[in-house]
Amino acid sequence: MPRVTFREERCKGCGQCVIACPKKIISFSEKLNEKGYHPATVTEDKMKDCIGCASCGRMCPDLVITVEK
Ligand code: SF4
Ligand code: SF4
């Protein structure tokens, strides 16, 4: 099953990955990271809908996202 992980401390909350995801499963976390942004994430219940397309990782300007297939 595909899985995405976010290096949340590097995220600047730009939302590019949220827009890019064809399954619309990426959202912003309630918590703040060290930079003071709400980092992008995929919650455990949404992860099962990930198709491993890696659109999110390609769009992220800060290399926050790793996609495993
Ligand atoms: S790999 Fe594709 S489906 Fe999965 S979170 Fe990223 S953009 Fe969405
Ligand atoms: S594209 Fe990268 S920096 Fe922007 S919100 Fe998504 S994970 Fe964060």
Query: How does pLDDT run across 46-63, given as a tens digit for each residue?
Result: 999 999 999 999 999 999
Taking only the tens place, the pLDDT of each residue in 11-43 is 999 999 999 999 999 999 999 999 999 999 999
What is the per-residue pLDDT for 44? 96
Ligand 2 probe mutation, 60, 63, 65, 66, most atoms within 8 A of CB? 60
Ligand 2 probe mutation, 9, 14, 31, 56, most atoms within 8 A of CB? 14
Q: What's the 43 CA to ligand 1 centre distance in angstroms?
A: 12
Contact 11, 40 (CB under 8 A): yes
Measure the CA–CA gap between 38 and 41, rounded to whole angstroms. Answer: 9
Measure the CA–CA gap between 69 and 65, rounded to whole angstroms. Answer: 13
Mean of pLDDT over the chain: 97
Three-class HEC string of the chain: CCEEEECHHHCCCCCHHHHHCCCCCCEECCCCCCCCCCCEECCHHHHCCCCCCCHHHHHCCCCCEEEEC
